[in-house]
Structure 1
């Protein structure tokens, strides 16, 4: 049965970030993920994880200056030093939080950018990152993100990410299969999930088209959880969605997966 991880950057918005660990544990989650942990000291997060017996399943490398619209550094020519510093920071947090999966954000295509140069830069940075993490137990993942939610994001299709993973050739570089983004951009979710499964290192879900609970909308994500189970997926499935009302009110669908529904 798939193991669910509460994405604390998206759900449990009713309470401050540090209190979300306890809220997730109270509902029976055994793992959490988040976008960026860097606003809090790693020691404070680690203490919450230990206190509530939670696994930190995933977080992202620093994306650059988010407030100025940056959405990743890895594919940006001229920003190699910034990417290296971001990797250093992420690995520091990963060690403190005992997190074994890190998402590498590629970045945006600026107007007039040379996408061939971006591809070369991405490959170079990923090879360095993979060499740095080889044998560490850390898996690096790449996520195709749809252009409706993040226009001009460099890696936006699974074919593109697969090509990059194949070119880098490191066994611990994997696909972050976000079924919400996949539905928006490509569809054919079951067949693509089956085809991409050997590359998959992490999964995320949210309902389409409004990114609410995964039991809502046009795509049957609960069916897809069964598909992942049939395929033998043993990793975490991150819940990266916007609750329609409160987090607790929208968790009824998750009772099947061991989540305790409480008001």
Structure 2
């Protein structure tokens, strides 16, 4: 049985963040993810999640000033920012513990070259050892949406996961990004599904609701059940209208 969660950073934005968990519950979601919850008091957010009886599937490990549109998009692969990464990660783990977040996504940031790769691997090894009971993920992101992002290849992600070799570090598979990066969502999924701990979906090519468009999501969801995938499937997309107007994809 598929477990669908709502990305509250993108969905239900018609409401204040603390009201979104309840709206997601009313709409039929079983859980939520919040990319960057750090501007909200953790106790208040925890209470909002508890009132809605919504588990928190995932949060991101960000730079403190992610709200800055020109700010960095993570720095786990940025040489010279190792101390900053560790400080940010410690903060994220405190939030994850307070909110019961199942996964923490570690963002690589804008970087390139062998030194960045080595930095990324070492930071991930440190993070996995620092929080051995916390599930961690890395996610390939296409460079059209995020220019210069270091982890922009699924092959590279598999290489990094093998090199880090930590039981609590796995892949975050975003179908929209897979389409943008390789143009073949099913082919990429078949290649990486043994490492996938969390899935995100959005329409192709417009990143609206995951239905119609260039990819058959109902068939993909059936394939996930056939593959015995038991993790979350998160709607991470920009609604074409109000969020509640089109949620048929989760039914």
Partners of 1:73 and 1:194 lie apart in 2 by: 29
Matched, 1:248 2:244: yes
The answer as to 2:143 corresponding to 1:141 is no
What displacement does 1:191 show? 2.8
Residues 121-169 of structure 1: per-residue CA shift (max 9 Å, x gap):
11110000011122x1x11100000011001100011101000000101
Please give the TM-score of this superposition, normalised by the length of structure 2: 0.96
In the TM superposition, what is the alpha-carbon distance from 1:221 to its structure 2 partner?
2.0
Q: Corresponding residue for 2:18? A: 18
In structure 2, the partner of 1:168 is: 164
Residues in 2 aligned to 1:184 and 1:191: alpha-carbon distance in whole angstroms: 13
**RMSD, matched Cα:** 1.1
Unaligned runs of at least 5 residues, structure 1: 256-263
1:108 matched residue in structure 2: 110
In the TM superposition, residue 195 of structure 1 has moved relative to its aligned partner by 2.4
For 1:36 and 1:20, locate their aligned partners in 2 and report how far apart those are by CA, in whole Å: 14
Q: Would you say 1:127 and 2:129 are equivalent positions? A: no
Question: Superposed, which structure 2 residues align to 1:82-93 within 5 Å?
Answer: 82-93=84-95
Secondary structure of the structure 2 residue equivalent to 1:57: strand
Residue 57 in structure 1 maps to residue 53 in structure 2: no
The TM-score, its normalising length taken from structure 1, stands at 0.92
For residues 1-263 of structure 1, the aligned pairs below 5 Å read 1-66=1-66, 67=68, 68-109=70-111, 115-134=113-132, 136=133, 138-255=134-251
Range that drifts further, 64-73 or 88-97: 64-73
Residue 214 of structure 1 contacts residue 222 of structure 1 at CA under 8 Å; is this kept in 2? no
Structure 2 residues not aligned, in runs of 5+: none
Number of residue-to-residue matches in the alignment: 249
What's the CA shift for 1:64?
4.7
Hey, what's the Cα distance between the residues in 1 that align with 2:46 and 2:156?
35
For 1:30 and 1:175, locate their aligned partners in 2 and report how far apart those are by CA, in whole Å: 21
